[in-house]
Chain A
Amino acid sequence: MKVQLLFPDQDADMTASLPDGADDLIADLDLGPVLVAMRPERRLDKLCPTVLLNPLTDPAQISWRQHVLADALSDPVDMRTLFDLAGQALESQNSIWMYSGRTVDSLRSASILGLQALLPIMRQLARFAADRLPTVSSAGLAELYQRLIDELGPAYLQEMSTLLVQLDFPEGVLSRARLDESGLLGSLQLLAPRTGRKPWWAVFGFTPPGQLRFTIGERDEAGARALAEMREDAVLDVAATLARAKGHVLGFFRQLRWETGFYVGCLQLHELLTGIAVPVCWPEPASGRDTLRTASLSCLSMAVRAGHAPVPNDLAGPKVGLGIITGANQGGKTTFLRSIGCAQLLLQAGMFVPATSYEASLAATLHTHFRRAEDDDLASGKLEEELVRMSEIVDRCRPGDLLLMNESFASTDEVEGSYIAADIIDALVDHGVRVLVVTHFHRLARHYGKRPGTTFLLAERLEDGSRSHLVVPGAPQSTSHGMDIYQQVFGPDRDRSHAEAGPGGRQPADPENQERIPA
């Protein structure tokens, strides 16, 4: 029996591992607090990372989740009830811990008791589904409720209850046997237990007609052991079948807990965002390539961490194949990059986005290459560490992917850093990867100055030098005052010739690369 709340055609894979680079993504986008805020219960700590970081690329699947989530948002109690019932089912198994399942009989008893504990919850679930079916509008929930009604009918559950009692074999074990190649009475096939009243000869303990029997001595321990092994051989298949059946039933509840848990997590996040007055909308997956436009986009991770609504940004788009974001320090460049990354993940998880509109092409994988904190590594190994991470990303990048680069290769000087970064960015963009780059390397930014289709954004600095934390369209500006002085001395013509040299030029004495004013 399938749950299929996360996918229209299959159950979500609870064992799916996080994609390579997921740890970097969580760290770079600062998703830690978001994942904690979404976590529906402590034991489901892998749930939200698994769903969020394995993005959907099929608009139909996104729409499936958006509709289920819309139902959950309009009736949060129902989704939480499903989640709780699944939790009760899993907890009901805790009372049979003393059956190890290591022997055939203990496995059989554990399975029977486990299934018996699940019976009342199955009854409750079927009744709940019948009650709530008329209120839902999403196909995901409606189909789940219908399956519960069909498969867990009262007659079926009554029959299960009877069967479980019979399989306790109160009358002994009966099987079909043949003399097989082992030379023993083997190939044992357990036969259906007799039902109904005992015949008269059984009541009086006589041997029934057509039967031969022997009894082992009372102190014959070896005989008793041999008898037990014969019995275990006969019962093993049914015990294993019962154990598998219990596993499947429990598997259904585990799946239900998992999939409803994600929506419960979404409810929690929704409450948090609306509580701090961050507007949310249903994002739209764009059909073409390179589409990216949004209005009033807030950074999810900043909103969750700060606990208040951050400054929202707009991006007119409509196409961004390569975006270069420059501008003032502390001006919101990193936050802007994160807001795009978070929104993209939410879109591709079938969730709402903290914006008034968000439309983007779907990326098979989202990659991040952020400059790491100063104290992360020993200084000598820093560039190498960056190169190692970038090399891993290059291994994973496929056309259509989205790469967010934040001050990459800032651990080396501007000439070398720009040179390395430009080569990588050129190759990735040519490969069809969308790249958003935050950099303070003017040399790198200018390299793309004449490249068609490049979007330039600027962290705004107001006239008085203060930051608005807005990222606005704008070409890279040189903030170097040294440049001004240089131009005053040598005239503006020199600037143009240097601008065209690009990062490949490798002119060691290029004064534009020097941040400090020459004495």
Chain B
Amino acid sequence: MCAAISIPTRPTRGSDRAAPPGTCPSLLSSEQTDWSQESELPQCLSDLHLDDLIAATTPGPFQQAVWRRPVADVRVAEFRQDVIRDLARPEFREAAEIFAAAVASARNSIVARANAHYAVPAELNLAEAIRRYKVAVGDFSGRLSEFEPRSGGLRSLAAHLDGLVHSDRFGQLADGCEEVLAQVRSLSVELGILPGTVWVGEDAGRPACAGEVESFFSRFSSPAAGPPVAVPQRPRRYLNHVEAQAIELVANLRPEPFERLHQFVTAHADFLTNDMELLAEELRFFLGFLKVADGLGPDVEWCMPHLLPAGGGAVRIDGLVDVALALRRRSEEQPLVSNDLLLNEAERIVFITGPNQGGKTTFVRAIGLLAYLASLGLPVPARAASLPLMNPVLTHFPQPDDPVNQRGGLADELVRLHDILQATTGASLLVLNELFSATSAEDALELSELVVPQFERLGCRVLWVTFLEELVTSVDGAASLVGQVAPEDPTRPTFRFRPQPPAGRSHAAALAARHGLSSQDLAGRLR
């Protein structure tokens, strides 16, 4: 069965894109967005390991849709940045998390009741979900009015929730669920469990047994009584037909409070409104991201990037780390290397060279990922960042040979490059990793010299990992970053990159010498 992705939508009124009065405002944009509209997977998804990051946030269909749509307008990105700054504050974050969870469990309870075979347990469950929802809405609203959010998004939300919480309808909901639950839960019964049979009867006030046993043996207790007893786990009971029948027995034994429970949940069947569900989905997008960002540990610093309008401006990134590496690293204990990137307005094409296994791919991937996160209005994994909004981020990485694909390696590369160029605008970031690696160096050089003018014409930013050092020196105005090696051991890369002309073959020579393959060594050995 293939269920259509169901994403709650706000009622829209014709062409009016602002939130209609009485509806909960959005936290993703000051304007209305239709998230149910199909959106394509970003082209750079797997090359940047963006898919790993997205998966780590455990997104639902709604959050997936948000992840797939970077914004082109700096104002929208800044609107979200403000919202995140607020949500990262513990006084809001915790209440928002509880609210989002309460909405999800309320939705589950509504569905469960609709399909329930035993009515009483399902109604109990729903009443409890209503109670948690009501507490969560009240707390979230209370936090918002107490701690004064700074973002436009949360300020409008505060006003909306305040109105909701103080409405008559919400008041009835709140009082009603507490009352019916308290009545049902005050019942105390005797439960007898015999082989194959369960019975329920009035509580006759017999003393509890565990305490008696405990005090009978208390004279033996001592702090040094050997290893602690391994107690089996308490069985995880869940609502099944035996549990449900036992509950129904209680309802038959004492019918009045259960009748009131039934009336309450029937009267408030529509308590969970569409816009509250949408709000919960939006919160889940931000909270999921914040949770992953926190989980990466203290050596991944996050900052809110300063965004310049798309299409121009300098790039300045300090202390950038690769989130994809950090995500995989969790179990391992390898330190993350941070890098800086400084590009002036004119430096549109940036070549990256350096030793093999020296972190070139990681470096450009980190920049691409940073640009993508910035274009979603999210924090970026760097100490400080200032950059133009770059949208779309396009990548061209070497692909493993695909047996389904009948084209040859070079042809495939060129087709992919062509597609990318079709999508490229002056606002784009192109990340090219070992372009034309499927052909000879001579060919690659020639092809590269053909595509460079196209990039220059489009005015996009290009990060270009290459081993063609002649190419680097032949392009006027291009920046060159070189992967560094340890000064005391030229065979060991430091995974840091510095602006400088290409380093030549010094690294290779050192590596060769270590294996007895330097020119002198070889001369001696091949005599």
Contact = CB atoms under 8 A, between A and B. Distances in A.
Interface in B179-235: 184-185, 187-203, 206-210, 212-214, 216-217, 219-222, 224-226, 228-232, 234-235
Interface string A463-483: 000000000000000000000
A176 B208 contact: yes
Interface of B is mostly: mixed
Nearest to B246: A185
Contacts of B518: none
Q: Which 10 A-B pairs have the closest CB atoms?
A: A251-B225, A245-B217, A213-B199, A226-B242, A248-B220, A172-B194, A211-B201, A229-B235, A177-B191, A240-B231
Interface string A212-234: 11111010001110110111111
Interface stretch (B62-70, B121-129, B360-368): B121-129
Interface stretch (B19-27, B150-158, B248-256, B344-352): B248-256
A174 B242 contact: no
9 contacts: A11-B222, A174-B193, A179-B247, A185-B191, A213-B199, A218-B196, A231-B193, A232-B235, A248-B220
B237 A1 contact: no
Given A101-B230, A230-B198, A179 B237 contact: no
B468 to A, nearest CB: 54
Contacts of B193: 172-175, 227, 230-231, 234
A211 B285 CA distance: 51
B242 A212 contact: no
Given A184-B243, A249-B217, A208 B201 contact: yes
A172 B195 contact: yes
Contacts of B475: none
B203 A176 contact: yes
A248 B217 contact: yes
Contacts of B184: 179
A213 B225 contact: no
A230 B199 contact: no
Interface in A463-507: none
A128 B261 CA distance: 65
B494 interface: no
Interface residues of B, number: 62
B206 A191 contact: yes
Nearest to B121: A183
Interface in B252-300: 252-253
Pick the most buried of A102, A233, A234, A245: most chain B CB atoms within 10 A of its CB.
Answer: A245
Contact of A255 (B198, B207, B224): B224
Given A214-B245, A247-B229, A1 B191 contact: no
Contacts of A244: 217, 221, 225, 229
Interface of B: 121, 124-125, 128, 184-185, 187-203, 206-210, 212-214, 216-217, 219-222, 224-226, 228-232, 234-243, 245-247, 249-250, 252-253
Given A184-B247, A213-B200, 19 more contacts: A1-B219, A11-B224, A15-B224, A167-B213, A174-B190, A183-B121, A185-B250, A189-B208, A192-B207, A210-B201, A213-B192, A226-B237, A230-B191, A233-B237, A234-B193, A238-B209, A239-B231, A249-B217, A251-B224
B184 to A, nearest CB: 5
A224 B198 CA distance: 11
A191 B208 contact: yes
Contacts of B194: 172-173
Contacts of B206: 174, 176, 191-192
Nearest to B214: A241
Contacts of B226: 247, 250-251, 254
A15 B128 CA distance: 48
B195 A226 contact: no
Contacts of B231: 107, 236, 239-240, 243
Contact of A177 (B189, B209, B213, B224): B189
A395 interface: no
B105 to A, nearest CB: 11
A221 B214 CA distance: 34
A236 B213 contact: no
B232 A230 contact: no
A210 B197 contact: no
A172 B192 contact: yes
Given A189-B208, A250-B226, A252-B220, A230 B242 contact: yes
A103 to B, nearest CB: 6
A242 B192 CA distance: 21
B212 A192 contact: yes
A343 interface: no
Nearest to B192: A174
A37 interface: no
Given A104-B232, A216-B242, A255-B224, A176 B190 contact: yes
B241 A223 contact: yes
Contacts of A237: 210
A259 to B, nearest CB: 11
B213 A178 contact: no
Nearest to A237: B210
Nearest to A122: B220
A188 interface: yes
A62 B186 CA distance: 60
Contacts of A222: 240-241
Nearest to B247: A185
Interface string A410-447: 00000000000000000000000000000000000000
A469 to B, nearest CB: 45
A13 interface: yes
A210 B201 CA distance: 6
A173 B225 contact: no
A190 to B, nearest CB: 4
A156 to B, nearest CB: 8
A393 B189 CA distance: 67
Contacts of B243: 184-185, 226, 230
Contact of B210 (A181, A190, A207): A190
Contact of A182 (B197, B222, B237): B237
A80 interface: no
B201 A103 contact: no
Contacts of A186: 237
B232 A107 contact: yes
Contact of A2 (B191, B217, B222): B222
Contacts of B249: 212-214
Interface in A1-51: 1-2, 11, 13-15
A175 B237 CA distance: 16
A76 interface: no
A213 B197 contact: yes
Contacts of A231: 193
B264 to A, nearest CB: 15
